[in-house]
């Protein structure tokens, strides 16, 4: 297939960048960048289409992706690829249309090393992607995004994750209830999971709380912090001590610190 005008097919792809409802209805999203596309293919995600620029011939990387993915492909005019890739100058070599996995909490494998990060009602896609990247870097089992929240499949979130979105499960849940039901099921099966919330006024410093066991670590909204329902549900609230004129940490930064502390304790164990 060759696309040289802003026809209906191009408009469908363009909508995946800007319209969350259309992404959800189609069950797919557009992936930009060498590393994210490579990881999506390597980790076995459903590649529904690969879009290649009609410019110069493909690089070795591009040829390998096309061969490995075995997905339907389209040749797209360079100026249209620039629009889809968010590039002001060079058109991207490849873009991928990738299917969304189900929002199923059973994708989060239980076990003694369980570490799941919950991001409660985040408003910024970039923060979602940054948190996913940190969760991947520090060995988390997965990420849950709860409530009315920014979309982890927004292109800004996908880019901020630098491909980590494809390396660990990221699941959306309507509210805290579904997460607590899932955690309750784990406990019933003998997994002693604890739910730990982060808050600048938490009664215990994070380094003083044992994070070596199965843990659900909950991080609040960038502006309002954790909801009252999450605060009530947590087994323990912890704080990250800070100094200086800063009133608080960015939510994704706070999550990164908490993940590092968890990894530090577990290495010590």
- Amino acid 247: pLDDT: 66
- CA dist., res. 261 & res. 240, Å (int): 10
pLDDT band (50, 70, 90) for residue 111: confident
| Region label for 44, one of left (φ > 0), alpha (ψ between -120 and 50) or beta (otherwise) | left
pLDDT band (50, 70, 90) for residue 1: confident
- CA dist., res. 7 & res. 2, Å (int): 11
User: In angstroms, how far is CA 263 from the centroid of its own chain?
Assistant: 19
- Amino acid 91: pLDDT: 86
User: pLDDT tens for residues 48-106?
Assistant: 999 999 877 889 999 999 999 989 999 999 999 999 997 667 889 999 999 999 999 99
Which tokens sit at 106? Answer: 């059973």
- CA dist., res. 209 & res. 94, Å (int): 46
- Amino acid 86: pLDDT: 79
What number does CATH give the domain 105-268?
A: 3.40.1280.10
- Amino acid 249: pLDDT: 81
Domain boundaries, the chain: 2-99, 105-268
- CA dist., res. 26 & res. 249, Å (int): 36
The phi and psi torsions of 121 (rounded to 5 degrees) equal 55, 45
Which tokens sit at 70? Answer: 């075995």
The highest-level CATH class for domain 2-99 is alpha beta
User: pLDDT tens for residues 155-186?
Assistant: 999 999 999 999 999 999 999 999 999 999 99
The answer to whether 251 and 122 are in contact (CB under 8 A) is: yes
Is the predicted pLDDT of residue 112 greater than 80, yes or no?
no
What residues have CB less than 8 Å from 244, skipping those under 6 apart?
A: none
Q: Which residues of 18-49 are buried (b: 16+ CB within 10 A; e: fewer)?
A: eeeeebeebebbbbbbeebbbbbbeeebebbb
User: Which residue bears the tokens 């309002």?
Assistant: 224
- CA dist., res. 75 & res. 54, Å (int): 6
User: pLDDT tens for residues 189-245?
Assistant: 999 999 999 988 889 999 999 999 999 999 998 888 899 999 999 999 999 988 877
Measure Cα distances from 243 to 114, 221, 237 in Å: 31, 21, 19
> pTM for this one?
0.93
Q: Which helix (H) or strand (E) holds 117?
A: strand 115-120
């Amino acid at each position: 297939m060759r696309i040289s005008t802003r026809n209906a097919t191009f408009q469908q792809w363009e909508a995946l960048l800007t319209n969350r409802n259309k992404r959800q209805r189609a069950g797919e999203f557009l992936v930009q960048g060498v590393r994210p596309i490579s990881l999506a293919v390597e980790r076995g995600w459903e590649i529904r289409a690969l879009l290649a620029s009609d410019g110069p011939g493909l690089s070795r990387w591009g040829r390998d992706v096309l061969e490995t993915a075995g997905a339907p492909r389209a040749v797209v005019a360079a100026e249209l690829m620039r629009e889809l890739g968010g590039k002001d100058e060079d058109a991207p070599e490849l873009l991928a249309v990738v299917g969304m996995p189900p929002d199923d909490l059973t994708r989060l494998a239980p076990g003694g090393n369980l570490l799941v990060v919950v991001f409660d009602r985040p408003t910024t896609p970039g923060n979602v992607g940054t948190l996913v990247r940190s969760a991947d870097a520090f060995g988390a089992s997965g990420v849950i995004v709860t409530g009315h929240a920014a979309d982890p499949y927004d292109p800004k979130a996908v880019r901020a994750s630098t491909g980590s979105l494809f390396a660990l499960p990221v699941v959306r849940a309507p509210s805290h209830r579904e997460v607590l039901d899932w955690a309750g099921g784990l406990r019933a099966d003998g997994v002693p999971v604890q739910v730990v919330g982060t808050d600048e006024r938490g009664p215990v410093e994070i380094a003083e709380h044992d994070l070596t066991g199965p843990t659900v670590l909950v991080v609040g909204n960038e502006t309002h912090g954790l909801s009252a329902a999450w605060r009530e549900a947590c087994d323990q609230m912890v704080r990250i001590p800070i100094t200086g004129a800063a009133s608080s940490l960015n939510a994704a930064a706070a999550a990164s610190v908490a993940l590092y502390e968890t990894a530090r304790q577990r290495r010590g164990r």
